[in-house]
Amino acid sequence: MTRMPDSIRHTLRAAQHPARAVPCPHCGAHEHQPCTTPSKRRLMPQPHPQRVSNWVQIVACCPACQVEPGVPCHENGWPLRNGDTHPRRHIEAQETAA
């Protein structure tokens, strides 16, 4: 891959984070709606990590634990804590979305 770092940064900073395609389990934001702070008064500049994990899990397979899209990450057969996903899967998902 010879993708320019600038294009990746641009994707991450874009007004609509690709993770907004899924609802947020943390703050309850609906699909395509931005995440909000617990008080709901302020919008979050970035989606909650849990939302990003959900999105990553849906769109990408994991290079670390070899699961297919839609399947949660695991470590030696055990699910990751808090439904987390491997960092390498996040990179994979961002390249899919770019």
Site string for Zn ion, 43-82 (x = CB under 5 A): -----x-------------x-xx-------x---------
- Provide the minimum distance between the beta carbon of 5 and Zn ion in the complex, in angstroms, as a whole number: 24
**C-alpha span between 40 and 5 (Å, rounded):** 33
- Structure token digits, residue 32: 């395509």
Report helix, strand or coil for 36.
Answer: strand
Q: Find the radius of gyration of the CA atoms of the chain.
A: 14
In the shown chain, the binding pattern of residues 9 to 38 toward Zn ion, with x for contact by CB under 5 A and - for none, equals ---------------x-xx-x-----x---
φ and ψ at residue 86, rounded to 5 degrees = -65, 145
Contact residues for Zn ion (CB under 5 A)? Answer: 24, 26-27, 29, 35, 48, 62, 64-65, 73, 86
